[in-house]
């Protein structure tokens, strides 16, 4: 599933074509994805202007001039690609329609944004902008890891009484928004913290160090266009490149990248997910 860097990469790729533009035509080619599309979705979007295109955790939020917000989740295999962009940043000719092009947004500026989702775990909804943060999908999400609310004091308070492994705690969206398996593994490696360690037992100095490390891992991934392991594509159809910089994720049995370490990367299963780490470097 795309994590924060992938969703942010898509959002930034969509900005030139969607923000400030109106929906000229909307095609919804099936009744549902993970759940049914909202009532009168085509009617409610057609002619509306996207006043802001933002992200909350792993959701893209398109605020409209009609007081509604289009919520988009990419799910496991969803991708949003742009064609016909008048700014010349994307392919000018619209491609042939594909089998899993479930929603197609034609903008008045000539751009076309296509939502393709073979596995149909993606989702869309329309909600009131003024109360968007109260939507069931958004209401309990923790602070953004790249925002000011996510700091040393906050993280220390959240972890001090947690008897779960630090890996599981950082994956909890109620503690911090948008982190997923890949970037938690990478952040814990850079911090030298074992994913096995109980969250409450991580020393205060190491918790403090985790905050900038998490920020840096996410920033590095965004700069690289995210990670493409299976389905993820940027808005221009290109792959992300951060997977080429993984220190631990997916590297079971490979040598540790830490200078002077002769350890190899191990994989364990925690809460049904694979955790990759160096048993020698991470304690």
Helix (H) or strand (E) holding 4: helix 4-18
The answer to whether residue 143 is catalytic is no
Which pLDDT score is estimated for 82?
92
Backbone phi and psi for residue 121, each to the nearest 5 degrees, phi listed first? -95, 0
Per the DSSP assignment, residues forming a β-bridge with 274 are 269
The answer to whether residue 3 is catalytic is yes
Two structure tokens written together for 28: 């919804």
- Average pLDDT across the chain, whole number: 94
Which residue, among 14, 43, 11, 18, has the nearest Cα to 28 in the 3D structure? Answer: 43
Local confidence pLDDT in tens for the 283 residues of the chain:
789 999 999 999 999 999 999 999 999 999 999 999 999 999 999 999 999 999 999 999 999 999 999 999 999 889 999 998 665 555 557 888 889 999 999 999 999 999 999 999 999 999 999 999 999 999 999 999 999 999 999 999 999 999 999 999 999 999 999 999 999 999 999 999 999 999 999 999 999 999 999 999 999 999 999 987 766 777 777 778 789 899 999 999 999 999 999 999 999 999 899 999 999 999 9
In sequence order, what DSSP letters do the residues of 126-191 get, joined into one string?
A: EEEGGGGGGSTTTTT----TTSTTSSHHHHHHHHTT--SBHHHHHH-TTTSSS--HHHHHHHHHHH
At a CB cut-off of 8 Å and minimum separation 6, what does 164 contact? 198, 199
The topology under which CATH files domain 152-277 is Helicase, Ruva Protein; domain 3 (1.10.8)
- CATH architecture observed for domain 4-134: Alpha-Beta Barrel (3.20)
Which pLDDT score is estimated for 222?
96
How far, rounded to the nearest angstrom, does the alpha carbon of residue 277 sit from its chain's CA centroid?
A: 22
Which pLDDT score is estimated for 229?
72
Which pLDDT score is estimated for 89?
59
Alpha-carbon dihedral sign for residues 35, 40, 44, 45: positive
Which pLDDT score is estimated for 45?
98
Instruction: Please report, for the chain, the start and end positions of each structural domain, with discontinuous segments joined by +.
Output: 4-134, 152-277
């Amino acid at each position: 599933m795309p994590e924060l860097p992938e969703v942010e990469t898509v959002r930034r790729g969509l900005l030139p074509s969607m923000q400030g533009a109106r929906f000229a035509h909307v095609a919804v080619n099936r009744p549902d994805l993970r759940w049914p599309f909202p009532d009168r979705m085509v009617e409610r979007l057609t002619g509306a202007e996207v006043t802001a295109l933002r992200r909350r955790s792993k959701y893209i939020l398109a605020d409209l001039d009609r007081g509604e917000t289009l919520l988009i989740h990419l799910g496991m295999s969803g991708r949003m690609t742009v064609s016909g962009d008048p700014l010349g940043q994307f392919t000018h000719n619209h491609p042939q329609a594909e089998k899993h092009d479930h929603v197609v947004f034609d903008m008045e500026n000539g751009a076309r944004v296509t939502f393709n989702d073979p596995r149909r775990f993606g989702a869309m909804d329309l909600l009131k902008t003024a109360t968007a943060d109260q939507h069931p999908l958004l209401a309990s999400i923790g602070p953004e890891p790249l925002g000011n609310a996510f700091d040393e004091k906050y993280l220390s308070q959240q972890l001090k009484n947690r008897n779960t492994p630090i890996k599981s705690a950082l994956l909890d969206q109620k503690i911090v928004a948008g982190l997923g398996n890949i970037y938690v593994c990478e952040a814990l490696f850079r911090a030298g913290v074992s994913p096995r360690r109980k969250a409450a037992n991580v020393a205060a100095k190491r918790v403090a160090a985790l905050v900038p490390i998490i920020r840096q891992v996410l920033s590095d991934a965004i700069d690289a266009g995210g990670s493409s392991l299976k389905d993820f594509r940027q808005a221009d159809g290109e792959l992300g490149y951060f997977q080429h910089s993984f220190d631990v994720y997916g590297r079971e049995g490979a040598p540790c990248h830490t200078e002077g370490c002769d350890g190899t990367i191990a994989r364990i299963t925690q809460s049904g997910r694979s955790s990759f780490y160096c048993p020698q470097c991470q304690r």
